[in-house]
Amino acid sequence: MLNQYFGNARYRSVLVTLLVLLIVQTAAAHEYWIESSNFFLRISEVSSVRLFVGEALISETEMPFQASKTNSFQMFSPNGAFDMRTLAEDDRKPIVNFSADRSGTYVLAMERGWSYITLDADKFEDYLTEEGMDYVITERARLGEAKKQGRERYSRYLKTMIQVGVNRTGNAKARYGGRLEIVALDNPYNKKVGDTMQFQVFFGGAPLASKAVFADNRDGDTVSTRKMVSDKDGKVEVKVDGKGIWLIRLVYMQRCSKSCGDADWESFWGALTFGVK
């Protein structure tokens, strides 16, 4: 079939255009999130836990577990913490198969180490605008860097919540100490469609105020996104208006206060996923 397409100039043009669009979309799709094949498990039932990169819960690529890039990967249960790196295998997809022999809400938290990227000034500003980081655009203008390449290093702080059995446990609302952390102030598994949930964002242990926070919801093929701004206490409120998977996410960026190698800015990407039915 591909040979037939390449034999026709018109189809060659269409195919090249589609490939270019795919490359552009993949380059722009830079969010990571952890997704369980099932967020509602019976005791001892197994779920595949996967790491995706994409945009607004639309996956472009599934990532394997990368030991060299993973600073920590922990499970927080009603009974304590467990280092998931002892179970995860390097270069494996899914990153882990999860099951639990006790009822409760389980939190999996992963921290990925620094990566580096350099973008042309226009692309960097587009990215800052898309992620709600106008304060960085303002700071670059103040520093006379608006036309300068954006040199950035970034790290990721990813969490997912999985409900096992019927007991909704308080550890779902706990803070686990990530440098950037999104905390659910309500256990999402106590919520249903139509309810409201609160989340609080922390950076370096302090509430992160006046920053853009996004909530994505995917139910089958339907995806919706809304943007909020954290209040003075780092809190946002989200109406749970759909079932399926939810992703609460934000990016926080700051000027490097000390040498960052080949970067002038450092960003911290937070993501929290859970299910609603």
Which residue, among 157, 158, 168, 159, has the nearest Cα to 40 in the 3D structure?
168
In a domain, 198, yes or no: no
In a domain, 130, yes or no: yes
Kindly tell me if the per-residue pLDDT of 229 is higher than 50: yes
The confidence band for 259, taking pLDDT boundaries of 50, 70 and 90, is: confident
In a domain, 267, yes or no: yes
In a domain, 104, yes or no: yes
DSSP letter assigned to residue 205 = T
Kindly tell me if the per-residue pLDDT of 130 is higher than 50: yes
pTM given for the model: 0.89
In a domain, 245, yes or no: no
pLDDT tens by residue, 185-198:
999 999 999 999 99
- The total of structural domains in the chain comes to 1
Q: What is the dihedral angle through the alpha carbons of 65, 70, 72, 78, rounded to the nearest 10 degrees?
A: -20
In a domain, 56, yes or no: yes
Contact predicate 169/242, CB 8 Å: no
The confidence band for 256, taking pLDDT boundaries of 50, 70 and 90, is: very high
Kindly tell me if the per-residue pLDDT of 20 is higher than 50: no
In a domain, 232, yes or no: no
Contact predicate 140/253, CB 8 Å: no
Kindly tell me if the per-residue pLDDT of 184 is higher than 60: yes
pLDDT tens by residue, 30-40:
899 999 999 99
**pLDDT at position 17:** 35
Structural domain boundaries enclosing 44:
7-175+258-276
Say how many Å lie between the first and final Cα of the chain, rounded. 42
In a domain, 223, yes or no: no
